[in-house]
């Protein structure tokens, strides 16, 4: 049966495995085109407006639960997305993701030398409480900000920004 | 006459080998460029992306032009 198959579909393995210079050149040109398309696609993807993501609003806490200069951990938008609500010394509320952009350690609200920051104790990274940009340490990106809304005496999380505007 | 043809074939072979090596070199540069911009993009740094895309397209154009040249060269007698 297999002899019959070989006769019906003869394959010259030596010829089949032989790659000419022209074929190799063609292959390299095609691969080069693929890399060019990949780079262009990456550039196009980076241009997409993906800075702000809208999620279902979620209740965080009552205004009087936090005194100025304190913080509260909460989850938003999913149960495993840890966030930190901070009431700054000025009384203003801000919220950020709690995951450090370096290795996802939980960041803490701290005051160092009179400056309010989000501090990562794992590798001593810190982020600005004003806009989430990296102040020091190894984090490669700003920490994502959570958009808040005040509804009478309640604080609600209504969206998330992935980058500093 | 026979020697002249042989020399021409050797010459062609040398040119083709040089072009293949040059194309391989360009392709490796292109690949390195892609990896670097991908790493930077994942870190949120996208300033280099447009320049890298332009360079990558230029390299691809050069490679295509060389492929056409090789085809012409191999057709020549």
Q: Where do the structural domains in chain B lie, given as residue ranges? A: 2-75
pLDDT in tens, A116-145: 999 999 999 999 999 898 999 999 888 999
| Mean per-residue pLDDT of chain A | 87
Picking from B28, B52, B64, B67 by the largest number of A CB atoms within 10 A of its own CB, the best residue to mutate is B67
Mean pLDDT of A149-165: 79
Compute how many other C-beta atoms are within 10 angstroms of the C-beta atom of residue A95.
Answer: 22
What pTM, to 2 d.p., does this model score?
Answer: 0.59
ipTM for the whole complex: 0.87
Query: How sure is the predictor about B39, in pLDDT bands with cuts at 50, 70 and 90?
Result: confident
Cα A58 to the center of its chain, rounded Å: 21
Token pair of A117 as six digits: 């920051």
CATH for the A53-161 domain, from 3.30.70.100, 3.40.50.2300, 3.40.30.10, 2.102.10.10: 2.102.10.10
**Closest chain A residue by Cα to residue B35:** A39
CB contact under 8 A, A38 and B34: yes
Nearest to A99 by CA among A67, A122, A115, A116: A122
Q: Count the residues in chain A.
A: 165
Mean pLDDT of A47-70: 82
Q: What is the pLDDT of residue A164?
A: 46
* Residue A165 pLDDT exceeds 70: no
């Amino acid at each position: 049966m297999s002899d019959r198959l070989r006769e019906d579909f003869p394959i010259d393995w030596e010829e089949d495995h032989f790659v000419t210079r022209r074929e190799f050149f063609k292959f390299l040109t095609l691969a080069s085109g693929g890399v060019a398309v990949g780079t262009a696609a990456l550039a196009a993807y980076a241009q997409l407006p993906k800075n702000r993501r809208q999620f279902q609003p979620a209740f965080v806490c009552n205004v009087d639960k936090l005194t100025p200069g304190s913080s509260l951990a909460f989850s938003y938008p999913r149960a495993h997305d840890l966030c930190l609500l901070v009431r700054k010394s000025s009384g203003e509320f801000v919220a950020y993701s709690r995951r450090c952009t370096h290795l996802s350690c939980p960041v803490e609200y701290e005051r160092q030398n009179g400056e309010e920051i989000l501090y990562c104790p794992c590798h001593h990274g810190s982020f600005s409480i004003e806009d989430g940009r990296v102040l020091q340490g190894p984090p490669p990106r700003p920490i994502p900000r959570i958009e808040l809304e005040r509804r009478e005496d309640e604080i609600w999380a209504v969206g998330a920004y992935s980058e500093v505007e | 006459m026979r020697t002249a043809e042989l020399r021409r074939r050797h010459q062609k072979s040398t040119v083709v080998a040089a072009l293949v090596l040059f194309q391989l070199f360009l392709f490796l540069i292109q690949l390195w460029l892609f990896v670097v911009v991908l790493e930077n993009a994942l870190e949120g740094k996208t300033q280099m992306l447009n320049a890298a895309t332009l360079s990558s397209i230029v390299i691809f154009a050069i490679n295509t032009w060389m492929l056409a040249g090789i085809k012409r060269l191999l057709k020549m007698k």
